[in-house]
Amino acid sequence: MKQTSDFEDKNGQPSTKDVATFDARIEYIKNSFVNTEDLLMLPVSYNSRKGFVIYIATISDSEKIQESILFPLIKFGELNAADIPYTAETQDKITLQESVKALLKGNAVVIFNGLDEIFSFNTMKEISRNLKEPDSEKTVRGSHVGFVENLSTNIGLIRKGIESRHLKINYHQIGEYTNTQIALVYIEGICNPALVKRLEERIQTLSIDMTFSPGYLEELLEDQPFSPFPHLLYTERPDRAIAQLMEGRIILLSEGSSDALALPVSFFSFFQTSDDYNTRIITGSFFRFLRVVCFLLSLLLPSLYIAVIGFHFEIIPKEILVLVKSSVENIPFPPLIEAMVMAFTIELIREAGIRLPTPIGQTIGIVGGLIIGDAIVSAGLVSNIMVIVIALTAISSFTVASYEMSNTVRILTFPIMLSAATFGFAGIIFSLMFIVGHLCKLESLGTPYFTPIAPFNLQGMKDAIIRFPIWLLKDRPRELHVKNKKRLNQPRRWEKNEK
Amino acid sequence: MRNIIKRFIVLTTIPFLLSGCWDQRLLKEQKLILLIGYDKGHNGKIISNTDYPISKGVQNNSASTTKSTILTTEGETALDTLLHADLNISEKIDISKAQVVLFGEEMARQGLYKELDHIYRNPKGALGAKVAIIEGKARDAVRIKQEEANLNGQYYDEYLKSGEATGFFTNYNVQSVCPLLLKHTKDPLLPLLKISPERHRARSIGMALFNNEKMTGKLNVSESKMFLLLNGEKKQKVSFLLNTNNQDSQKEFIVIEILNNRQKTKLSVKNEAVTSILSSKLQYRITEYPKDQLTNPILLKKLNKTIQKRLTKKAEKTIAKLQAANCDGFGIEEEIRVHHHQLWKEKYKNADIKNIPIKAKLDLELINSGIIN
Amino acid sequence: MKNKVQITKLQMITFLIQTQIGVAFLSLPYEIHQIAKGDSWISLLLTGLFMEILVLFYLILCSRFPNQDLFQILHSMFGNAIGKGITFLYMGYFLFTGATILVLFVHILKRWMLPYTPAWVILFLMASVGIYIAIDNLKVIARFYFIATFALLVFLFITPVAFKDENIHYILPIGQSGLMNILKGASNVTLAWQGIEFILLISPFVLASGREKFKAATLANIFITFFYSFLTFVCLIYFNNEVMKLLPQPVLYLLKSFSFKIIERPDLFIISLWIILVGTSFISYLYGASLAGTFLIKRWPRKAWVYLSAFTCFVFALFFNGENEIEKVTKTATYSGYIFFMAIPVFLLLLSFLFKKRSKGEVNAEHY
Q: Which CATH number fits domain B222-373: 3.40.50.1000, 3.30.300.210, 2.60.120.620, 3.90.650.10?
A: 3.30.300.210
Structural domains in chain C plus CATH codes: 9-354 (1.20.1740.10)
State whether C264 and A316 contact (CB < 8 Å).
yes
For residues B145 and C156, give the distance between their C-alpha atoms in angstroms, rounded to a whole number.
Answer: 46
User: How many CB atoms are located within 10 Å of the residue B301 CB?
Assistant: 11
Amino acid A12: pLDDT: 40
ipTM for this prediction: 0.92
Amino acid A169: pLDDT: 92
Size (chain C), residues? 368
pLDDT of B299 higher than 70: yes
Question: A329: which chain B residues are within 8 Å (Cβ-Cβ)?
Answer: 28, 55, 57, 64
Give Cβ neighbours of residue B79 (< 8 Å, ≥ 6 apart): B118
Question: B128: which chain C residues are within 8 Å (Cβ-Cβ)?
Answer: 257, 259, 264
* H or E segment to which residue C290 belongs: helix C266-296
* Encoded amino acid at A338, one letter: E
Task: Give the three-class secondary structure for B243.
Answer: strand
Task: Report mean pLDDT in 10-residue bins for chain A, 499 residues.
Answer: 38 46 81 83 78 85 79 62 48 73 82 77 78 83 87 90 90 85 90 89 86 80 85 89 90 89 88 86 90 92 92 87 84 87 86 80 80 84 89 89 87 89 90 92 87 82 84 82 80 82
State whether B183 and C240 contact (CB < 8 Å).
yes
Residues C7 and C206 sit within 8 Å (Cβ to Cβ): yes
Strands A260-263 and A233-235, sheet pairing: antiparallel
State whether A423 and C125 contact (CB < 8 Å).
yes
**What is the overall mean pLDDT for chain B?**
81
CA A44 and chain centroid, separation: 45
Task: Provide φ and ψ at C183, rounded to 5°.
Answer: -65, -40
For residues C164 and C161, give the distance between their C-alpha atoms in angstroms, rounded to a whole number.
Answer: 6
Count helices and strands (H / E) in chain A.
21, 12
Amino acid C282: pLDDT: 93
- Please report, rounded to a whole number, the percentage of residues in chain C having pLDDT higher than 70: 96
CA B308 and chain centroid, separation: 28
Q: Using CB atoms, which residue from C114, C124, C241 is nearest to B23?
A: C114
For residues B109 and B176, give the distance between their C-alpha atoms in angstroms, rounded to a whole number.
Answer: 20
Nearest-CA residue of chain A relative to C270? Answer: A425
pLDDT tens digits along C128-179: 999 999 988 888 999 999 999 988 888 888 888 888 777 777 777 777 777 8
For residues B152 and C24, give the distance between their C-alpha atoms in angstroms, rounded to a whole number.
Answer: 43
Distance from the Cα of B175 to chain C's closest Cα (Å) equals: 6
Hey, is the C-beta of A315 within 8 angstroms of any chain C C-beta? yes
* Encoded amino acid at C293, one letter: G
State whether A425 and C113 contact (CB < 8 Å).
yes
User: How many CB atoms are located within 10 Å of the residue C353 CB?
Assistant: 12
- By C-alpha distance, which of A345, A354, A337 is closest to A375? A345
**Between B62 and C288, the higher pLDDT residue:** C288
For residues B64 and A326, give the distance between their C-alpha atoms in angstroms, rounded to a whole number.
Answer: 7
pLDDT tens digits along B114-147: 888 888 888 888 888 888 888 888 888 888 888 8
State whether B53 and A322 contact (CB < 8 Å).
yes
Amino acid C368: pLDDT: 39
Amino acid A61: pLDDT: 83
What's the N-to-C CA distance of chain B in angstroms?
A: 91
Task: Give the three-class secondary structure for C196.
Answer: coil
Question: C8: which chain A residues are within 8 Å (Cβ-Cβ)?
Answer: 455
Task: Give the three-class secondary structure for B145.
Answer: coil
Nearest-CA residue of chain B relative to A431? Answer: B13
Residues A393 and A344 sit within 8 Å (Cβ to Cβ): no
pLDDT tens digits along A309-345: 988 888 888 888 888 888 888 888 888 888 888 888 8
DSSP B231: T
DSSP B27: G
Task: Provide φ and ψ at B285, rounded to 5°.
Answer: -130, 160
For residues A179 and A254, give the distance between their C-alpha atoms in angstroms, rounded to a whole number.
Answer: 11
Distance from the Cα of C324 to chain B's closest Cα (Å) equals: 20
Going by pLDDT thresholds of 50, 70 and 90, the confidence category of residue B57 is: low
Size (chain A), residues? 499
Amino acid B58: pLDDT: 53
State whether C146 and A455 contact (CB < 8 Å).
yes
Hey, is the C-beta of B13 within 8 angstroms of any chain A C-beta? no
Q: How does DSSP assign A315-354, residue by residue? A: GS-HHHHHHHHHHHTT--S-HHHHHHHHHHHHHHHHHHHH
User: Which of the other chains make 3 or more beta carbon contacts under 8 angstroms with chain C?
Assistant: A, B
* Domain locations in chain B as residue ranges: 28-55+64-219, 222-373
Amino acid B12: pLDDT: 61
Three-class secondary structure assignment of C291-353: HHHHHHCCCCCHHHHHHHHHHHHHHHHHHCCCHHHHHHHHHHHHHHHHHHHHHHHHHHHHHHH
For residues C232 and C56, give the distance between their C-alpha atoms in angstroms, rounded to a whole number.
Answer: 26
For residues C267 and C250, give the distance between their C-alpha atoms in angstroms, rounded to a whole number.
Answer: 11
Residues A60 and A103 sit within 8 Å (Cβ to Cβ): no
Q: Using CB atoms, which residue from C114, C173, C256 is nearest to B341?
A: C173
Mutate to test the interface with C, among B119, B127, B341 (most CBs of C within 10 A): B127
Amino acid C358: pLDDT: 65
pLDDT of B343 higher than 50: yes
Question: C128: which chain B residues are within 8 Å (Cβ-Cβ)?
Answer: 9, 13
pLDDT of B226 higher than 80: yes
A255-265 b/e with 16+ CB inside 10 Å = b?
bbbbbbbbbbb
Chain A 406-425, residues with CB within 8 Å of chain B CB atoms: 418-419, 421-424
For residues A189 and A443, give the distance between their C-alpha atoms in angstroms, rounded to a whole number.
Answer: 23
Amino acid C366: pLDDT: 42
Amino acid A85: pLDDT: 47
Hey, is the C-beta of B16 within 8 angstroms of any chain C C-beta? yes
Q: Using CB atoms, which residue from B24, B28, B66 is nearest to A331?
A: B28
pLDDT of C180 higher than 70: yes
Task: Provide φ and ψ at B207, rounded to 5°.
Answer: -130, 150
Residues C206 and C216 sit within 8 Å (Cβ to Cβ): yes
pLDDT of B173 higher than 60: yes
DSSP C364: P
For residues C30 and A475, give the distance between their C-alpha atoms in angstroms, rounded to a whole number.
Answer: 49
User: How many CB atoms are located within 10 Å of the residue B359 CB?
Assistant: 15
* H or E segment to which residue A53 belongs: strand A49-56
The angle that helices A358-366 and A335-354 make with each other, rounded to 10 degrees, is: 160
Task: Provide φ and ψ at C117, rounded to 5°.
Answer: -70, 130
Residues B191 and B225 sit within 8 Å (Cβ to Cβ): no
Hey, is the C-beta of B306 within 8 angstroms of any chain C C-beta? no
State whether B27 and A313 contact (CB < 8 Å).
yes
State whether B338 and C173 contact (CB < 8 Å).
yes
Residues C127 and A433 sit within 8 Å (Cβ to Cβ): no
Residues C192 and C51 sit within 8 Å (Cβ to Cβ): no
Distance from the Cα of A425 to chain C's closest Cα (Å) equals: 6
Amino acid C13: pLDDT: 92
State whether C264 and A318 contact (CB < 8 Å).
yes
Q: Using CB atoms, which residue from A310, A418, A419 is nearest to B26?
A: A310
pLDDT tens digits along C58-95: 888 888 887 888 888 888 888 888 888 888 999 999 99
Going by pLDDT thresholds of 50, 70 and 90, the confidence category of residue C310 is: very high
pLDDT of B113 higher than 80: yes
Question: A434: which chain C residues are within 8 Å (Cβ-Cβ)?
Answer: 129, 132
Q: Using CB atoms, which residue from B22, B127, B338 is nearest to C172?
A: B338
Amino acid A306: pLDDT: 92
Task: Provide φ and ψ at A450, rounded to 5°.
Answer: -95, 15
For residues B39 and B109, give the distance between their C-alpha atoms in angstroms, rounded to a whole number.
Answer: 11
Complete edge-to-edge strand list for the sheet that includes strand B358-368: B239-243, B253-270, B273-288, B358-368
As beta bridge partners, residue B368 has B285
Specify the range with the lowest mean pLDDT, choosing from A196-205, B218-227, B243-252: B243-252
